[in-house]
Chains A and B, each alone.
Chain A
Amino acid sequence: MSFILFAEQVLNGLQLGVMLFVMAAGLTLVFGVMGLINLAHGSLYMVGAFAAAAVAGLTGSFVLALVAALAAAAAAGALVEMLVIRRLYNRDHLDQVLATFALILIFSEGTRWIFGSFPLFLNIPDYLSGPVTLPGGIQYPLYRLTLIAIGLAIAGGLFLLISRTRLGIQIRAGENDREMIAALGVDISKLYTIVFALGAALAGLAGALVGAIQSVQVGMGEPVLILAFVVIVIGGIGSIKGALIGAILVGLTDTLGGVLLPELFKTFMDNAAASSIGSALASMLIYILMACVLIVKPTGLFGART
């Protein structure tokens, strides 16, 4: 395989990785601070994508569409937090899984009811379309490069938020000892709603950004959600750093594995068999990766030590 092809795949892996990070960051924050597992995170991703598609369709502006995605997802997140999620903080994981699973059903069917079953289209704006020539002669879509940049910027922003701001301190303290910060006068309710809405906004943004290169349809969020869970399990639940490293690992493994494994098999098998076996194995690769990490470190790479 040529260097250019390989470099493209690495970049694709990186792009998948950072978008997974944006998704996983919200998930791991909510779990770290509130101890809550939220299956409806994928629905918020979908809400963001639909809001963006709708607004883009109306106004033609991609920027407005992104703003709409952030706003709609954050609003949906805040609403859901106040109505449902806050009743779950003291419940066991099974209840949280079931209740948020119920939310998935409600969100999915609700969206289908409003928008119908056919996918919507969100187009990459003109100023971001087309390839860019990178050193080494690689031609890579500008849009995907933008996604990588946005993802890394969000990572940087989150690190700053957590380490430098008041909110960040509350979040870090909350991860360690919930009762303590309540005793210290922090408004827990508001903190939780803000954290949840922040996570939701990130999911919505990811949905909108990725929606432009895939389609915007009901159920788009769940496959990404499951990948995000794999990411935070690998990285360690509650750790943003773990989420970033886990996400990039998963993104690269999935993308490169999907390309390299069939090639590997082609060296000793015929093309057709190699393609099918190779891609079948490649699809399992990230789960195998996760299983391997968990054998060595049952709470993930950067998770709390048991």
Chain B
Amino acid sequence: MKRETILNAVMVLGLFIVPLWAWIADEPFIITLTTKAAILALAGVGLNIALGIGGLVSFGHAAFFGLGGYAMGILASHAQSYAPIMESPFLIEGTKSMPVIWLAAIITSGLAALAIGALSLRTTGVYFIMITLAFGQMLYFFTISWPAYGGEDGLPIYVRNGFPGVNTLDPIQFYGVVFVILMAALFFTARLIKSPFGLALNAARQSSERVETVGINPYRLRLMAFVISGMITGLAGALFADLNRFVSPTMFSWQISGEIMVFIIIGGVGRLFGPVVGAVLFILLEHILGGLSDYWHIYLGVLLLLIVLFARGGVIGTLAGREASHD
């Protein structure tokens, strides 16, 4: 536990210092890269609640990532075109305010996770993996065919959304917002793990029967975990869309679902900072290896394979050893 805490502290420090240095050295590209890593890490923090703690292998979390992104896209595009989304029975106008957009993203993905989870959690094992994948695909194909928001070509958002008191166009300030959100999510997850909910969810992953015979319904636990998980990943989607000022159906793709899972595994599944380590490594690899070779995905594939086969605990597992069994 001690080693893991040190590692976590190093990560937080790194995520704080590197962009600051980049700002001082006037390297906005590095700030943007770190922002991307932090947002992807947030998506992973979301999935890790369902996957790492709950043991739910959701291969369709891109559904929530995309929904968050499109919540942003739809609200922002209506704002920038000054056309309301709906006039009757309620007047719903677009908005370019980040907090409102985030709320919309969280609520939308939460509701979707409730619906998808309620259905999917009635299945187990491979069926669960497949049905979550299928729901992601469903949204992907729907978004491609729906012409209103760009369809396959996607939807560009010309101006970054606003956050009160912050100049969001300034890379370091936008990063600041993202950093705070990521830390808040990590703090929330840390509390969750130690809470009665976390204890029960984690136990349900290890033995459903045990949890039932002490009087807890595992289905409800998992559904709640799935919804929380979907909401956090949805928030990440909205931030991602804001970073790129672009939303497209690829945010719903199974490749994205797979990639988010890959970060978590590389970092260490079930570990608090697993998604953070994984996302940072992924971005580093993409940047460094990608510069060397066009085919860097091969190396990513080999790395992933080696980790799955031989270093199951991921980077954190290898460096920090076995998890302590309690706080």
Contacting residues, chain B, for A158 (C-beta < 8 A): none
B298 and A106 within 8 A (CB): yes
Q: Enumerate chain A residues within 8 angstroms of B172, measured Cβ to Cβ.
A: none
The answer to whether B122 and A97 have CB atoms under 8 Å apart is no
Is the CB–CB distance between A84 and B131 below 8 Å?
no
B146 beta carbon closer than 8 Å to chain A: yes
Per the bound structure, the CA–CA distance linking A108 and B255 in Å amounts to: 13
Inter-chain contact B265/A230, CB cutoff 8 Å: no
Q: Which of A143-151, A167-175, A183-191, A278-286 contacts B (4 or more CB under 8 A)?
A: A278-286
Q: Is the CB of A105 within 8 A of B300?
A: yes
Closest to A99 in B: B308
Instruction: List CB contacts (< 8 Å) of B211-265 with chain A.
Output: 254, 258, 261-262, 265
CB of A285 to closest CB in B, whole Å: 9
Looking at B59, B301, B302, which has the most chain A CB atoms within 10 Å of its CB?
Answer: B301
Grouping DSSP codes into helix (H, G, I), strand (E, B) and loop, the B interface class, with mixed when no group exceeds half, is helix
- Across the interface, which residues of B come within 8 angstroms of A300, CB to CB? 127
Q: Is A142 an interface residue (CB 8 A)?
A: no
Residue contact B129 to A112, C-beta cutoff 8 Å: no
Residue of B nearest to A233 (CB): B130
Contact B305 A106 (CB under 8 A): yes
State in angstroms the CA–CA spacing of A27 and B46 once bound together: 30
Report Cα–Cα, A166/B254, bound state, in Å. Answer: 39
B138 near A102: Cβ-Cβ < 8 Å? no
Q: Considering only CB atoms, which chain A residue lies closest to B122 in the complex?
A: A298
Known: A99-B309, A222-B254, A276-B147. A37 touches B129 (CB 8 A): yes
Check A291–B119 contact: CB distance below 8 A.
yes
Given contacts A106-B305, A226-B133, A284-B138, contact A97 B57 (CB under 8 A): yes
A94 within 8 A of B: yes
Q: Is the CB of A290 within 8 A of B129?
A: no
A interface SS class: helix
Partner of B295, one of A102, A104, A112, A299: A112
Which residues on the A side are within 8 Å of B304 (C-beta)?
98-99, 101-102, 105
Residues A290 and B134 in contact, CB atoms below 8 Å apart = yes
| A110 adjacent to chain B (CB < 8 Å) | yes
A229 to B135, CA, bound (A): 12
Task: From known contacts A283-B141, A284-B141, infer whether A102 and B308 are also in contact, taking CB-CB under 8 Å.
Answer: yes
CA A38 – CA B82 in complex, angstroms? 48
A97 to B261, CA, bound (A): 10
Whose C-beta in chain A lies nearest to the C-beta of B59?
A97
Q: Which residues of the other chain, B, contact A99 by a CB distance below 8 angstroms?
A: 304-305, 308-309
CB distance from A20 to the nearest CB of B (A): 14
Tell me which residues across on chain B come within 8 A of A294, comparing CB atoms: 119, 122-123, 127, 131
Q: Is residue B145 within 8 Å, beta carbon to beta carbon, of the partner chain?
A: yes
Interface residues of A in 74-122 (CB under 8 A from B): 84, 87, 93-95, 97-99, 101-106, 108-110, 112-113
Bound: A229/B129 CA distance, A: 10
A3 CA / B142 CA spacing, docked (Å): 29
Which chain B residues border A113 with CB–CB below 8 Å? Answer: 295, 298
- Closest B residue, CB atoms, query A291: B119
- Please judge, given known A-B contacts A226-B254, A291-B131, whether A103 and B295 are in contact too, CB under 8 Å: no
Contacts of A94 in B (CB 8 A): 51, 57, 269
Bound form: Cα–Cα A34–B138 in Å: 29
Minimum CB–CB distance for B150 against chain A, Å: 13
| Shortest beta-carbon contacts, A-B, top 4 | A105-B301, A283-B141, A280-B145, A102-B304
* Known contacts A98-B262, A237-B127, A290-B131; 15 further A-B pairs (Cβ under 8 A): A84-B305, A87-B309, A93-B126, A95-B308, A102-B300, A105-B301, A109-B295, A109-B301, A233-B134, A276-B147, A281-B142, A283-B141, A284-B142, A291-B134, A299-B123
30 A-B pairs in the complex with CB atoms less than 8 angstroms apart:
A37-B129, A84-B309, A93-B125, A94-B269, A98-B265, A98-B304, A101-B258, A102-B301, A102-B302, A102-B305, A102-B308, A105-B297, A105-B304, A106-B302, A106-B305, A222-B254, A226-B134, A226-B137, A229-B134, A279-B145, A280-B142, A283-B145, A290-B134, A291-B134, A294-B123, A295-B119, A295-B122, A298-B122, A298-B127, A299-B123
